[in-house]
Amino acid sequence: MLSKKLLQELRKQVGYELYSAHFYMAMEAYCVSKNLDGFANFFKVQTEEERAHARMFFDFIHRMNGEVVLDAIDKPPANFKDLLDVFTQGYKHEQFVTSRIYLLMDIATADKEHATVSFLKWFVDEQMEEEENFQKIMKQLELIGDNVNALLMLDRELAQRVFTVPAPLATQAQ
Ligand code: FEO
């Protein structure tokens, strides 16, 4: 059973994941404005992933007999200095989300709420991957500097990214 505190924090997480979708959509818009379709695609997929994360928390709360209460979503950033700034902000944001998942895990563990611990394990692994993705592109952008050809090569690579429904959500839908 979810404690009041755990339920409250899980509800907040639905909001943080929805904000993440908003945040990455703003980055997609920036990339579209720069005609970088591959980078835009990276953030389009990222936005879809964040919506899926929100859905996973939303459904989990209901499955645990809790009630979801949605809050307003904050305004995302509108101006970015350059692509490196975009990915640096994205990386910092993912570090924040990781700290949120760890907080949830700490509460669930202290509560001996094993179903929630099991649910959150997927997110612990996912966050490692998310941080790695952002950090890798950040470092590549630092190497690229103002080499336009190299930037366009990376843009073409990122155009290949596709959204796949997270495994726990796909299983649930069956
Ligand atoms: Fe849902 Fe990017 O963390």
pTM of the model: 0.96
Q: Whose CA is nearest to atom 1 of ligand 1?
A: 50
- What pLDDT sits at residue 65? 96
Band (174; pLDDT cuts 50, 70, 90):
low
Q: What is the pLDDT of residues 88-103, one digit of tens each?
A: 999 999 999 999 999 9
Q: What is the pLDDT of residues 116-172, one digit of tens each?
A: 999 999 999 999 999 999 999 999 999 999 999 999 999 999 999 999 999 899 887
* Contact indicator for 39, 137 with CB cutoff of 8 Å: no
- What pLDDT sits at residue 152? 98
Atom of ligand 1 nearest to the CA of 54: 1
* Contact indicator for 36, 87 with CB cutoff of 8 Å: no
Question: How many angstroms does the Cα of residue 149 sit away from the middle of ligand 1?
Answer: 30
One of 1.10.3720.10, 1.20.1260.10, 3.30.420.40, 3.40.50.720 is the CATH number of 4-70+80-160, namely: 1.20.1260.10
Helix axes 4-33, 37-63, angle to 10 degrees: 160
